[in-house]
Structure 1
Amino acid sequence: MNTRLIAVAILGAFAGAASAQSTVQIYGSVDGGVRYMTNVDAAGDSQLSFSGKGTNKSNRLGFKGKEDLGNGMDAHFDVESRMMLGDGTQVGVLFNGQANVGIGGAWGAVDLGRQFTPAFKTIVAYDPFHFLYTGIATSISATMGVDDNNAIQYNGTFGPITARAEYAVGEQPGSAQNGSTRAVAMSYANGPVSFGGAYTQKTSLTGLDTNHYTVGGAYRLGALRATLGYANQKDHVLVGADTATKYTWAGLRYHASPVVSFTGAYYQTKKSQAVAIADGKKDLYMLGGQYSLSKRTYLYADVDRANLSGNMMTAGQTSQNGISTGVVKIF
């Protein structure tokens, strides 16, 4: 009996040590809501739709873990799937959110796999809605892509400064550049002030480059937080038919109480091409409110209007109005 007790105690000690060194976390969010939108087709019809993959926040299920390697080093992973709440189907590939593994330490971290781009990680700090309402606000489009496949990425934070660099492998026979992505980013955050910038270059499978850069910042004063951002993208998709897209946005968030906040934002998208008929512009005005029921559950609502011209029009319509409301549960 004593021998058994000793054995159990030894196994318990080892199990405790292992659990202290390694952690695995299940996380995610579920957004259920509806959206009403006008002028969705050439006839000027309106549409009431379910949130699907998430109107305010993306529906996701993820698993991430970290193992202590000693000497300040760790090994970690993150895999994340997206789903449609309305019918339970999967959005895209199994882990279309993230799928990466890496090594980290005091010097930063190097991760390999599908992961959020340096531009995405930089812009989120100065987007008025922090990348909520991704299907409505145009800040996601201003990242030139949320995720990169086959990416080797470095992220390091030293005091108020964060540096990022990425190379995404193109996997094309005979060319290390075709299909690849190169990116760098840097941001600063200290007290009420934060700002940053990122530069990205993607090469198509045929060897044509798309160049993108973004800069922006935010300032917090009491219950108010102001944000301002800009992004410029030049697509060399066809010889002699380059497309330039410029994104500008500004916003203000007000925390009326610990559980109530309001955000107003303006987003502008301008496209231009060598052929003038391809030019277009979108001016989007948004006002959103959020009421927290707990630290992980909140109600949301937004009203928005988009003025459209040129090739930015939807089904020939020059304006669209939208209203969204729903509930989000984070776990």
Structure 2
Amino acid sequence: MAALAVAGVASAQSSVTLFGVVDASISGYSNKSRDFNNRSAKVSQQALTNSGYNGSRLGFRGTEDLGGGLAASFWLEAPISNDDGAKGIADFTRRSTVSLSGGFGEVRLGRDYTPTFWNDTVFDPFGTNGVGTNLINTASGYNFLTAGAKDTGGFGFNSNYARASNSIGYFLPPNLGGFYGQLQYALHENVKTDGVQDSPSKRGRYVGGRFGYANGPLDVAASYGQSDAGDLELTFVGSGLPKIVAAPVVKTANLGASYDFGPAKIFGEYSQAKMEYDIKSPFIVSGDSTLKGYLLGVTVPVGPGLIRAAYSSVKYDMGDHLSYLYDDGKANKLALGYVHNLSKRTALYATIARVSNKNGAALTVGGPAFPSNVAPKNTSTGYDFGIRHAF
């Protein structure tokens, strides 16, 4: 009886919620490439996939009222692959946090979204999901120096593009008249050894922040972040060059905004990611490479549905130190889609998209990679037709 009484008190003071998204779509991809000799090649694929509208997930979250305006919370969210059932709750890599909140704001510990990623997904009509994902997101998660790399990650070997592990975050309280913001620092957790040459670097560290204003139809936010990729061993396959040791740091800044006119909501974002690094090599000097991109989008409500459209573009500046190996590639993308809400939790959706690459850029809408990554021009098209159910 005593145990039951204690359990009753505990349940009255806290709450735990099971939540999730099950999203499945029939998707198709067609990626064409033309090499320097004007020979063409094509790869295509049709598949039943997941996360075309929202990322499929399963999670648990809970809050305990500690009194005096304080609350303790946890959030455990796992990615799932409902198209084949192969990936269930094997990890909580989408989010794994515990936090303490009050009038001072919120302090959050664990694995969480980075401040710089928020603008890429919040101001994208497609929410960085499916074939409609904006090119800023695609290029930031794609590494053009993957051949023989010891560590890959995204642009500039950045493994902290979307999420950062071992992070400490602070969020402003929500009662600031529309102003919001966050700061985040992620520990690299590398062992430091004094007195030993070439001691491990700060690989894995992230520091960043995001501040914005949302009131009525307007939402605008700016963010900045710096991610240390650390010491990397690179081998340029087929180039005849010896191994290179580099220490890249990726610095990202972006500005995004949206405005809801009622009949339509417009979106916009500008982003720049710069890879700065020192190369310990006698034949290549230190330097940096830059990825710049922008996004323009719109959503139009139509009865129970929503029309979505976005145009995004990115451009690489490889710098003089890499210009003889890589061109300053560029790409643009057009995406169109429609979402039909059957209820608040269930929706049918359709999306089509096309990417045009130039000067050796090799970005796709998804599916298989291009037949050749050194082609001067590539095009990629794709579609998603699916259903999303949230609970």
**TM-score above 0.5, yes or no:** yes
Q: Which amino acid aligns with 1:329?
A: H
Alignment check: 8 A CA contact 1:122 1:186 kept: no
C-alpha distance after superposition, 1:74-95 (max 9, x if no partner): 1111111112222212289611
TM-aligned CA deviation for residue 154 of structure 1? 0.6
Correspondence for 1:50 among 28, 48, 52: 48
User: Unaligned regions of 5+ residues in structure 2, if any?
Assistant: 34-39, 142-159, 193-199, 232-246, 280-285, 363-369
TM-aligned CA deviation for residue 46 of structure 1? 2.5
Which deviates more, 316-325 or 210-219? 316-325
Question: Normalization by structure 2: what TM-score?
Answer: 0.76
Q: Secondary structure at the match of 1:172?
A: coil
Correspondence for 1:291 among 311, 334, 340: 340
User: Unaligned regions of 5+ residues in structure 1, if any?
Assistant: 1-6
Q: Secondary structure at the match of 1:119?
A: helix
Distance 1:94 1:191, change over 3 A: same
Alignment check: 8 A CA contact 2:32 2:378 kept: no
Determine if the alignment matches structure 1 residue 107 to structure 2 residue 104: yes
Distance 1:71 1:205, change over 3 A: same
Determine if the alignment matches structure 1 residue 145 to structure 2 residue 153: no
Determine if the alignment matches structure 1 residue 90 to structure 2 residue 87: yes
Question: Normalization by structure 1: what TM-score?
Answer: 0.89
Alignment check: 8 A CA contact 2:136 2:314 kept: no
Counterparts of 1:242 and 1:98 in 2: how far apart (Å)? 32
- If asked which structure has higher relative contact order (CA below 8 Å, sep 6+), I would say 2
Q: Which amino acid aligns with 1:230?
A: Y
Alignment check: 8 A CA contact 1:56 1:134 kept: no
Counterparts of 2:80 and 2:57 in 1: how far apart (Å)? 6
Which deviates more, 302-311 or 147-156? 302-311
Counterparts of 1:292 and 1:63 in 2: how far apart (Å)? 25
Distance 1:205 1:93, change over 3 A: farther
C-alpha distance after superposition, 1:186-228 (max 9, x if no partner): 0110001110010001122235421100101111101210011
Determine if the alignment matches structure 1 residue 119 to structure 2 residue 116: yes
Distance 1:176 1:244, change over 3 A: closer
Q: Which amino acid aligns with 1:111?
A: R
Q: Secondary structure at the match of 1:43?
A: strand
Counterparts of 1:254 and 1:37 in 2: how far apart (Å)? 26
Q: Which amino acid aligns with 1:71?
A: G
TM-aligned CA deviation for residue 21 of structure 1? 1.6
The Cα RMSD (Å) is 2.4
Which deviates more, 85-94 or 268-277? 85-94
Counterparts of 1:169 and 1:264 in 2: how far apart (Å)? 38
Counterparts of 1:134 and 1:115 in 2: how far apart (Å)? 24
List aligned pairs for 1:1-331, cutoff 5 A: 17-39=9-31, 43-51=41-49, 53-90=50-87, 94-133=91-130, 136-141=133-138, 142=140, 145-156=161-172, 157=174, 158-174=176-192, 177-206=202-231, 208-237=248-277, 239=279, 240-257=286-303, 259-274=304-319, 275-276=322-323, 277-313=326-362, 314=370, 315=372, 316=375, 318-331=378-391
Percent sequence identity over matched residues? 28
Distance 1:219 1:32, change over 3 A: same
TM-aligned CA deviation for residue 260 of structure 1? 0.7
TM-aligned CA deviation for residue 286 of structure 1? 0.3
Report how many residues are paired: 321
